[in-house]
Amino acid sequence: MSALLELSGVSVAIGNVALVDRISLRVEAGRILGLVGESGSGKSLTAMAAMGLLPLIGGRVTEGEVRFAGRDMAGMSDAERRALRGRRIGFVTQNPMTALDPVQRIGAQVDIVSRLHLRLTKAAARARTLDLLTQLRIPDAAAVVDAYPHQLSGGMKQRIVIAMALAGDPELIIADEPTTALDVTVQAQIIQILGALVRDRGLALLLITHDMGVIAQICDRVAVLYSGRLVEEGPVGPIFANPAHPYTAALIDCIPQEGMAKRSLRGIPGAVPSALAFPPGCRFHPRCRRATETCRDDAPPLLPLGAGSVACHHAGPP
């Protein structure tokens, strides 16, 4: 099956600082790919690259290709790229508190997507908005469309953002940390909604998160990013059972287990390196328990392993 979104060897830089180093990803229809990493690993930049929005933050793709439905986005005109956004690719941002225009009513903010991309009339767009809000289990949708963002709770706002992402009837949704800013109970609801969308509508979903627990809940495949490089990629089941990369293993260890108190969380020692001073060799080696001389000198290539791939000189169970 051909991928809807495919990144092959994509590098991203802001100014002269290289932040994402030759990463490759595939997102297929009806599937969920989780992209996981700590903050500063380049997750959000990857999302911006996939949306073609890097220029907004002064960034650019320095090598590699971002292909949507087989077409290289670099070869498209601005108008063509814009026609994809909102229409074929929906975007859910990190912080619903700041994602909505504070001085515009909710209804108008959702309506505009279907009016712009599906050429619906004002009335038809509003009907579609109300329908979407109801599908997303927003109580009293008729009142919500007339509200301003500050009148809604965080979870409600995130549903509105999801409704905006769905309004253009897209094939792919990119969700950048959609639950980070929300309460735990609301997090679960949003994850459920996203999972149901993929199941019911056959959407493709690129879910970006720092939380391995979320990955375990709904993703089909997972890609682990560390300091701008992909360290491991593969189907969720085998990776959680047998993480080959020590960083993946450490991330899985960080998931709070049921019945366990918070204090038993095993953090990863050390800090994420700054993009201005990535360590040589394997970028994880200063924090790695398996690190050897080789890790300090040579960056390990991403090699196939089972149904996925891993970049580690000492790949294997701990």
Greatest Cα pair distance in the chain: 67
**Minimum CB separation from another protein for residue 81, in Å?**
9
118, amino acid identity: L
Looking at beta carbons only, is 81 or 290 nearer to another protein?
Answer: 81
Contact between 119 and another protein by CB under 8 A: the answer reads no
One residue of 17, 72, 74, 101 binding another protein per CB under 8 A = 101
Contact between 46 and another protein by CB under 8 A: the answer reads no
**What is the C-alpha separation between 207 and 174, in angstroms, rounded?**
6
132: which 2 tokens? 């979407």
Contact between 51 and another protein by CB under 8 A: the answer reads yes
Helix, strand and coil in the chain, % to nearest 5: 40, 25, 35
**In which region does residue 228 sit, left (phi positive, over 0), alpha (psi from -120 to 50) or beta (all else)?**
left
Number of residues near another protein (by CB under 8 A):
30
**What is the C-alpha separation between 19 and 36, in angstroms, rounded?**
16
One residue of 18, 112, 254, 255 binding another protein per CB under 8 A = 112
**Minimum CB separation from another protein for residue 162, in Å?**
12
**What is the C-alpha separation between 24 and 35, in angstroms, rounded?**
11
Helix residue spans in the chain (DSSP H): 43-51, 78-84, 96-99, 106-117, 122-135, 141-144, 154-167, 184-201, 212-218, 236-241, 246-253, 293-297
One residue of 7, 12, 100, 225 binding another protein per CB under 8 A = 100
One residue of 22, 85, 201, 314 binding another protein per CB under 8 A = 85
The distance of Cα 212 from the centroid of its chain, to the nearest Å, equals 13
Contact between 60 and another protein by CB under 8 A: the answer reads no
The distance of Cα 86 from the centroid of its chain, to the nearest Å, equals 16
**What is the C-alpha separation between 136 and 52, in angstroms, rounded?**
27
**What is the C-alpha separation between 90 and 306, in angstroms, rounded?**
32
- Please, which of residues 213-252 interact with another protein by CB under 8 A? none
Looking at beta carbons only, is 74 or 265 nearer to another protein?
Answer: 74
**Minimum CB separation from another protein for residue 129, in Å?**
13
**Minimum CB separation from another protein for residue 134, in Å?**
21
**Minimum CB separation from another protein for residue 9, in Å?**
24
**What is the C-alpha separation between 305 and 314, in angstroms, rounded?**
13
Looking at beta carbons only, is 87 or 287 nearer to another protein?
Answer: 87
- Please, which of residues 138-167 interact with another protein by CB under 8 A? 148, 150-151, 161, 164
**Minimum CB separation from another protein for residue 176, in Å?**
10
Cβ-based neighbour number of residue 293 at 10 Å: 10
Looking at beta carbons only, is 210 or 221 nearer to another protein?
Answer: 210
Mark the segment that binds another protein (CB under 8 A) among 80-88, 123-131, 264-272, 302-310: 80-88
Residues of the shown chain interacting with another protein in the complex, contacts defined by CB under 8 A? 51, 53, 56, 82-87, 91, 93-95, 98-104, 112-113, 116-117, 148, 150-151, 161, 164, 168
